[in-house]
Structure 1
Amino acid sequence: MRKNLYLYGVAVAALGWCTPILAQDAGGNPSDENEVLVTASRTDTSVALENYTGSASVISAQDLIDRQVRDIADVLRDVPGVAVSSVAGQTQIRLRGSEANHVLVLVDGIEVSDPFAGEFDIGTLQAEIGSRLEVLRGPQSALYGNDAIGGVVAYESASGRDLEGFAARIEGGTEDTINGSARIGLAGSAWDAALSATVVSTDGEPNARGGTRDIGRDSYTVSGKGAVEVAPGFELRATGRYIRTEGDFNDSNFDPTSPTFGLIIDSPDTRFENDAIYALIGARFSVLDDRWTHDLSGQIADIDRDTFGPFGRTSGSEGDRLKASYVSAFAIDDRHSLTFAADWERERFRNDDPFGFASDMRQEIENVGLVGEYRFSGDRFDLAAAVRHDINDRFADETTFRVGAGFDVTASTRIRASAGSGIKNPGFFELFGFFDGQFIGNEDLAPEKSNSWEVGIDQRLANGAILLSATYFDSELENEIFTTFPPPDFIATPANRETESTQRGVEVSASAQLGGGFSVDAAYSFLDAEEDGIEEVRRPDDIASAALNWTHPRDIASATLVVRHNGEAEDLAFTDPSFIPVRVTLDDYTLVNFNARVQLTDQVEAFGRVENIFDETFEQVFSFVSPGRTAVVGLSARF
């Protein structure tokens, strides 16, 4: 969330890893044939990456370790089709030109978006030791309902069985950065448990043009998970997570007589505090030699956000979600499977305005979703189809679908295609407004709806040493919610567009093993996203990356050089006294990063990384200056 930006540097280093990510896109390569997708189906049986009919990336635990990822937002910058924009206190992700609130984020199976804000601040999610990540691009509403128009980002921490024993890391560097993480994993014949704690802390640097105030951040995460087999075929599981994030931020200059009006300026004593509690409990029962499974789960998410100024608290919000799910999956045989799922969800939210300028009434929305899914996996042909019907107590009932197929033309060539629809209900701000006189809600808003399709090809060359992948996607969004400034008062209020918004683009990746421990990976994404014929903001048309990696034959050392390029992007600036936004263009930028590690003993490694080696100045969001050069060194150990 916060100045994730400098850690964005880590992201860059993480891009070195992007490489493997690219190699692990749907279609896979021989070295990654064991990669699986947990979120590609509502059944608890994983889908092999090479059998997936859409576009997906798997970021393994080893990838995160090799690229020294600390903020998950950083590594997402290197996934094809993903755009990340980060400022102090808010980090957003957009998949294939979708809005940030069109991306469903799951953490250990829990929906973590803030019901009040309508999206998840990905900057609050830290990379724990042993964790992994999945990204499904394209609409997934047929499986998961609301919030999944753009796709799904799923983070999974390691269980006690995945990673037994004790592991820890500690590092320090520029900007008084001190980060640390530790975990312990235990497992028995019928049980496993894991406990993890992670801290990310930095004093930061100025993020205002010409500013001198350092923008720091501290983030703390404690999580645990466990499972026990009570009887053959009957298992209980539980997971919990607490995240606290504290940090500084700067405000815009609201003085219309000032030459810096509408720009970010040093704002002493402005800060934020976010607290989030997540928990899930579940039970799984299987019969017929595990061919028919039944899973019942309940989860909660409780998020509080507060901002402070020189004289105390200036704003606050509360959001919570209660959800129950039942999933029944039946494997007809080794190739055919059927799944039924039912979800009940209640979201509540309240504006905790300390000044009484906005309604503090608690609002809530309930939804019931019914899912049917069919999957076929053959020797050369794969098929997946899903349909979902949502019954909402505020909006009209909606039905969404997804269908996809993949075919191995030869042993080295695979083609795939998929199509689907998505739904996104209006959020709290849009329905009920924020501060009276500044942003007025519109309770007559209709949900946003999308229809998308894609086609892709994966090609292996040189006995699998080279992997090429290309995907074309096309999406149309109806009823897009946008902000209007109607006269005579020009007070901001949301409305539905009567025209369609479009998102089209191409994702290309390449990965090659060069011999001698060297490998090279490259990715390029082109996006044409328009809202009523006007280019969407914070979505670069072109994003490219390349990484050169070397690993010692005995894996006692490694190094990665990464180059990332972001093309020009449009943004909005509130530099007009009317507060009607003015369109501006953010300059393109290229970053060079380097990371390395060396094994000191069988249990201990030393590592270091440098981001933005050439100290380039750039902005991801108008008037917010991103971090310059940063450097970190540290030690990690496993026992």
Structure 2
Amino acid sequence: MTKTFVSLIPLLAATPALAETGATDDTNIVVTASRSGDAIPADLIGSSITVLDSEALENRQTRVLSDVLRDVPGVAVNRTGAIGGLTQIRIRGSEGNHVLVFIDGIKASDPFHGEFDFGTLIADEAARVEVLRGQQSSLYGSDAIGGVVTYTTLSGREAPGFTARVEGGSFGTVSTAGRAAGIVGDTFDYALSGSYLTTEGYPTAPAGDRDLGSDSLGLSGKLNWTPTPDFKVTAVARYSYTKADLNDQAIDDSSPVVRGYPVITTIDTPGSYYRNKAFYGLVRAELSLFDDAVTTALSGQLTDANRDAFAAYGYSYGNRGRRYRGSFENTLRFGNERVKNRFTLAVDAEREEFRNVDPTGYAFTGTRQVDTLGFVAQYDVTVDDRLALGASARIDANDYFQDASTARVTGSYLFPNGTRIHAAYGSGVKAPTSSELFGYVDGQYIGNPDLQPERSRGWEAGMEQRLLEGALTLGATYFHSRFDNQIQTVGTSVGGQYISTSINNDVVAKQRGVETYLQARLGDWHVDASYTYLKAPQVLTALVNPAPADGSYQAAVPVETQAVRRPKNVASFNLTYAPEAVPVSATLTVRHNGQQRDYAFNSMYQRLLVDLKAFTLVNLAATYDISGTLQVFGRVENLFDEDYQEVFTFSTPGRAAYGGVRVRL
């Protein structure tokens, strides 16, 4: 890529295609799996995909979006602290920054951190989620190693009308949401939505009593203009604001003792909090010709993320990240009623800018930037709407590190008896982050411009069976991935000065496991269940022997263990009773998180390993329709008051109850 071309990036347009899915509760239509923007039936996709529609989010009374992702096979969720705290999603044993996230078609990861913090995303009214698992970099480039999460607010045509909701409950929590959407004439449809959640919170320090509160706001607007059946323009704007209290970590009298070492624990830190503000914007134009045989789209987007941290003495530190992303996409469709072909070419151009904000003068605060140009080719063919085959390839060119090429092939076949087999093989990449490339402090934390992208490749194979005329679906998928070229931080002492930098190590990590799921729609009863077994061995250095009695130094040694914060066993069960004859509904949600490992650190910041016990959380939600426009609802979370930890030394909430009212017009 040349500097001359890259200078045009802010003028280009780009984003993954936005496509309307038709029925708002249709969980069998997928958009993420193709760069064409076509809505594709899930049984014509070789990759594993889970769709949570607006009905599922409403029945489970989802307020913090990451909570409902616990119901997706292959997904592990960890929240550090209270609501608003850093929340990471790991898919199939990958890292949190190996999951690509789109919100209303916009690449939403923080350009500075190279990862999306799900703690900043509260759920909207009338939205849906797609989770596409497996290596998807051949479609979307960097970050899509574990998979892609797409969160979409429905358009005015998909879900017209007005809704408003308000609720209150435990921990001084108040949550509100509203949505106004509709169609104007024959050419416009619009959707405006907003959500706000404020809470006084609860203590996260095991020996503390400071409640960690937060305020979260999300505002979204989506406008579609369709002046002719062949031409459409979409505009999206979204604003996100989160302010959340934080606690520091240190060694004190409350510190747990691990292998004889008192270790760092969470402690009350009055006056400490962070603030995250982000703006997302998108414009996309699409032209269809020759009865949709050829579709051309040009689109552009902006992500502007600002994060600041404060201590009792005032402003502490911050960072700024901005992304300009653009795409040109062209799709050719040809064939007949039996054999349907689709060929898509796409070009993605992206510029990421980032800088530190440091009032102490400790860190480098100049602006850095990374430019990337990606070329995509994708071909899909379906035969008799039963056999589906696909292949995609991508090349990403970059100024700072080696160009990356990725590919993926998929296949699916649906037998007449309702049995479906599917398989996929693909590769993925994760580009180095800003701090890994450029460092933080000259002469102390040094960037490494010679870093190469992290890489992954893997395959999956599964079978799905439909029974009772499609009312019951059972499925199981085996997956296997290999992850190498991992980036890690290493340090050394030079002349008494500690220096650290990032390198690509030689360790190869392998993840494999089984995802199973069940979906049933039996009259007034809805059942959704999943279970995932994951084996994700990781080799790391840690202290394995008890602390020497004389306090002498003990060297860490290599240890092979299950990767941290990735339990071997995760399960979810949702049972909804929604009879048409009476105005009530109820949903029972059971989420099990198996035993997992996490890090602990002694006073010398040496690493130890700890086990966090398995836990099961039970939620119960219910609604009552007073009239066609007025509904009251309530729920109890953590019904049996389970005591658990998702992250070592961070306490979690006990039993909580909430209730409210919703108006629909």
Superposition TM-score, scaled by structure 2 size:
0.88
For the residues of structure 2 that align with 1:460 and 1:486, how far apart are their CA atoms? 58
In the alignment, is residue 376 of structure 1 matched against residue 381 of structure 2?
yes
Gaps of 5+ in 1: 1-30
Specify the SS of the correspondent of 1:510.
strand
Specify the SS of the correspondent of 1:621.
coil
Q: 1:582 to 1:436 in 2, by over 3 A?
A: farther
Q: 1:614 to 1:491 in 2, by over 3 A?
A: farther
Between 42-51 and 448-457, the greater mean CA deviation after superposition: 42-51
Counterpart among 90, 104, 108 of residue 86 in structure 2: 90
Q: How far apart are residue 494 of structure 1 and its match?
A: 2.8
Identify the residue that residue 214 of structure 2 maps to in structure 1: 217
Q: Is the 8 A contact 2:205 2:268 kept in 1?
A: yes
Which structure: larger Rg?
Answer: 2
Identify the residue that residue 372 of structure 2 maps to in structure 1: 367
Identify the residue that residue 627 of structure 1 maps to in structure 2: 653
Residue by residue over 1:491-538, the C-alpha shift from the partner in whole angstroms, topping out at 9 and shown as x without a partner, is 5543222121111110011234565x3344321101111233432111
Query: For 1:117-136, what aligned pairs fall within 5 Å after superposition?
Result: 117-136=113-132
Specify the SS of the correspondent of 2:574.
strand
Identify the residue that residue 572 of structure 2 maps to in structure 1: 545
Q: 1:548 to 1:230 in 2, by over 3 A?
A: closer
Counterpart among 439, 444, 455 of residue 449 in structure 1: 455
Specify the SS of the correspondent of 2:97.
helix
Counterpart among 155, 158, 161 of residue 157 in structure 2: 161
In the alignment, is residue 337 of structure 1 matched against residue 342 of structure 2?
yes
Q: 1:457 to 1:307 in 2, by over 3 A?
A: same
Q: How far apart are residue 404 of structure 1 and its match?
A: 0.3
Gaps of 5+ in 2: 1-23, 257-261, 540-559
In the alignment, is residue 523 of structure 1 matched against residue 537 of structure 2?
no
For the residues of structure 2 that align with 1:195 and 1:312, how far apart are their CA atoms? 36
Identify the residue that residue 468 of structure 2 maps to in structure 1: 462
Identify the residue that residue 599 of structure 2 maps to in structure 1: 572
Counterpart among 502, 507, 531 of residue 515 in structure 2: 507
In the alignment, is residue 70 of structure 1 matched against residue 69 of structure 2?
no
Q: How far apart are residue 289 of structure 1 and its match?
A: 1.4
Between 260-269 and 622-631, the greater mean CA deviation after superposition: 260-269
Q: How far apart are residue 463 of structure 1 and its match?
A: 3.1
Residue by residue over 1:111-170, the C-alpha shift from the partner in whole angstroms, topping out at 9 and shown as x without a partner, is 010111110111211211111110100011000001111110001111111222211111
Between 169-178 and 489-498, the greater mean CA deviation after superposition: 489-498
Identify the residue that residue 13 of structure 1 maps to in structure 2: none
For the residues of structure 2 that align with 1:312 and 1:282, how far apart are their CA atoms? 42
RMSD: 2.0
Q: 1:435 to 1:311 in 2, by over 3 A?
A: farther
Q: How far apart are residue 428 of structure 1 and its match?
A: 1.4
For the residues of structure 2 that align with 1:454 and 1:554, how far apart are their CA atoms? 43
Q: Is the 8 A contact 2:404 2:453 kept in 1?
A: no
For the residues of structure 1 that align with 2:584 and 2:237, how far apart are their CA atoms? 35
Query: For 1:248-397, what aligned pairs fall within 5 Å after superposition?
Result: 248-253=245-250, 262-334=264-336, 335-379=340-384, 380-397=386-403
Quick one: which amino acid aligns to residue 479 of structure 1?
Answer: N
Identify the residue that residue 186 of structure 2 maps to in structure 1: 189
For the residues of structure 2 that align with 1:535 and 1:439, how far apart are their CA atoms? 29
In the alignment, is residue 398 of structure 1 matched against residue 404 of structure 2?
yes
Q: Is the 8 A contact 1:346 1:367 kept in 2?
A: yes
Identify the residue that residue 408 of structure 1 maps to in structure 2: 414
For the residues of structure 2 that align with 1:478 and 1:280, how far apart are their CA atoms? 34
Specify the SS of the correspondent of 2:68.
helix
Query: For 1:556-635, what aligned pairs fall within 5 Å after superposition?
Result: 556-574=583-601, 576-635=602-661
Query: For 1:11-22, what aligned pairs fall within 5 Å after superposition?
Result: none
Q: 1:561 to 1:391 in 2, by over 3 A?
A: same
For the residues of structure 2 that align with 1:431 and 1:132, how far apart are their CA atoms? 35
Counterpart among 22, 32, 43 of residue 36 in structure 2: 43
Identify the residue that residue 20 of structure 2 maps to in structure 1: none
Residue by residue over 1:385-408, the C-alpha shift from the partner in whole angstroms, topping out at 9 and shown as x without a partner, is 101111111111121001100112
Q: 1:34 to 1:74 in 2, by over 3 A?
A: closer
Q: How far apart are residue 482 of structure 1 and its match?
A: 2.3
For the residues of structure 1 that align with 2:489 and 2:366, how far apart are their CA atoms? 23
In the alignment, is residue 203 of structure 1 matched against residue 200 of structure 2?
yes
Q: Is the 8 A contact 1:130 1:158 kept in 2?
A: yes
Quick one: which amino acid aligns to residue 450 of structure 1?
Answer: S
Identify the residue that residue 150 of structure 1 maps to in structure 2: 146
Query: For 1:19-38, what aligned pairs fall within 5 Å after superposition?
Result: 35-38=28-31
Q: How far apart are residue 580 of structure 1 and its match?
A: 2.4
Give the share of equivalent positions with the same residue, in percent: 44
Superposition TM-score, scaled by structure 1 size:
0.92
Identify the residue that residue 423 of structure 2 maps to in structure 1: 417
Identify the residue that residue 543 of structure 2 maps to in structure 1: none
Identify the residue that residue 47 of structure 2 maps to in structure 1: 54
For the residues of structure 1 that align with 2:277 and 2:489, how far apart are their CA atoms? 29
For the residues of structure 2 that align with 1:483 and 1:530, how far apart are their CA atoms? 20
Q: How far apart are residue 565 of structure 1 and its match?
A: 1.4
Residue by residue over 1:321-376, the C-alpha shift from the partner in whole angstroms, topping out at 9 and shown as x without a partner, is 00111000111135111100001000011011121111112111001001011011
Q: 1:549 to 1:258 in 2, by over 3 A?
A: closer
Q: Is the 8 A contact 2:529 2:574 kept in 1?
A: yes
Q: Is the 8 A contact 1:306 1:316 kept in 2?
A: yes
For the residues of structure 2 that align with 1:495 and 1:626, how far apart are their CA atoms? 35
Quick one: which amino acid aligns to residue 390 of structure 2?
Answer: A
Residue by residue over 1:543-595, the C-alpha shift from the partner in whole angstroms, topping out at 9 and shown as x without a partner, is 11223322223362111222221111111112x12212221111111112111
Q: 1:360 to 1:521 in 2, by over 3 A?
A: same
Between 529-538 and 599-608, the greater mean CA deviation after superposition: 529-538
For the residues of structure 2 that align with 1:223 and 1:254, how far apart are their CA atoms? 43
Q: 1:563 to 1:492 in 2, by over 3 A?
A: farther
Q: Is the 8 A contact 1:33 1:50 kept in 2?
A: no
Between 92-101 and 485-494, the greater mean CA deviation after superposition: 485-494
Residue by residue over 1:469-488, the C-alpha shift from the partner in whole angstroms, topping out at 9 and shown as x without a partner, is 00000000111112334457
Q: How far apart are residue 33 of structure 1 and its match?
A: 7.0
Identify the residue that residue 475 of structure 1 maps to in structure 2: 481
Q: 1:416 to 1:232 in 2, by over 3 A?
A: closer
Quick one: which amino acid aligns to residue 636 of structure 1?
Answer: R
Identify the residue that residue 23 of structure 1 maps to in structure 2: none
Q: Is the 8 A contact 1:369 1:388 kept in 2?
A: yes
For the residues of structure 1 that align with 2:655 and 2:446, how far apart are their CA atoms? 41
Specify the SS of the correspondent of 1:429.
helix
Q: Is the 8 A contact 1:40 1:46 kept in 2?
A: no
